[in-house]
Amino acid sequence: MPLTDDQIAEIAELRSTPQPTLRATAPGMEQHLYHAHEVLDHGFVRVIDYMGDDAAIVQAARVSYGAGTKKSRDDSGLIRYLMRHWHSTPFEMCEIKLHVKLPVFVARQWIRHRTANVNEYSARYSILDREFYIPAPDQLAAQSTVNNQGRGEVLTGAEAAQVLEILKTDAGRAYDHYEQMLSQEGQQGLARELARMNLPANIYTQWYWKVDLHNLFHFLRLRADEHAQYEIRVYAETLCKIVADWVPAAYGAFEDYRLGGANLSAKALDCVKRMLKGEAVTQETSGMSKGEWREFEALLGSR
């Protein structure tokens, strides 16, 4: 169960006692407050608080650009202009605070985005639960032969069963020893800050993560990408749905220009111009390396 009984009771109590407010609210986001979106086998994402909406982005931009811009662009058009031209500061006017439960190895990828405020569950102070991420069978894949940080073919049959058994057995044994070290009969037991070192990277941790919309978009652009590791990508995809309800105009622009768009190098752009003129461009005449050309062809859908 991703949520404990105490957490479920706390969420129910908070949702049952709404408070009046004079601040701007986003109706779509209000529906997400305190609701836990389950991710993986024991994880979740839930919105604790937020600030701002699409109007806050526009308001900040017009302070910067001065009076009169509203006459020439509607709010959605202005937001798309900001996104298209990489104007980041207006998006920083919106913030979100999340409660996330995730495997430790996913958390170590996530924390590389150093543009947020984070407070993690302390295993020095508290005892971690016996909860481990065990991949679904369709996520048990061999090492990719072309990508050093990617997956290849899905494991099947006896090989897959053996891997699952190893993961479950090792995790359970490590936790048994963790409990044993914490509580030695007739003795004081090992300090929690030391006992935790023996726990595997697939055990679950939790944190509060607060970030502004600009940096959240950067996180989503990388982690919601189809090439991102599956275990962090599913968290990013959940966040995409939440953000789409929170700031629909901003998310629409982000989806168009970042998630669905692409950046071209000067050489790649030159090749596109030459192709539009009818010239037959090859890797040898493109000025690009074989790797760049392969990615360029994949981008154009020509291979």
The reply, when asked if residue 122 is annotated as ligand binding, is yes
**Spatial separation of the C-alpha atoms in residues 103 and 200, rounded to whole Å:** 10
Q: Which residue out of 46, 80, 223, 258 is catalytically annotated?
A: 223
DSSP state of 33: B
The reply, when asked if residue 62 is annotated as ligand binding, is no
Beta bridge partners of 205: 102
Whether 46 is catalytic is: no
The reply, when asked if residue 120 is annotated as ligand binding, is yes
**Spatial separation of the C-alpha atoms in residues 26 and 29, rounded to whole Å:** 5
The reply, when asked if residue 265 is annotated as ligand binding, is no
Whole-number Cα distances in Å, 257 to 92, 242, 263 = 18, 19, 9
Extract the tokens encoding 188: 């004081």
Extract the tokens encoding 243: 């953000």
Q: How many CB atoms lie within 10 A of CB 84?
A: 12
The reply, when asked if residue 32 is annotated as ligand binding, is no
The reply, when asked if residue 123 is annotated as ligand binding, is yes
The reply, when asked if residue 194 is annotated as ligand binding, is no
The reply, when asked if residue 81 is annotated as ligand binding, is no
The length of the chain, given as a count of residues: 303
The reply, when asked if residue 196 is annotated as ligand binding, is yes
**Spatial separation of the C-alpha atoms in residues 252 and 4, rounded to whole Å:** 35
Question: Which positions make up the binding site for dUMP?
Answer: 109-112, 120-124, 196, 223
Which residues are marked as active site? 223
Question: Which positions make up the binding site?
Answer: 89, 109-114, 120-124, 196, 212-214, 218, 223
Question: Which positions make up the binding site for FAD?
Answer: 89, 112-114, 120, 212-214, 218
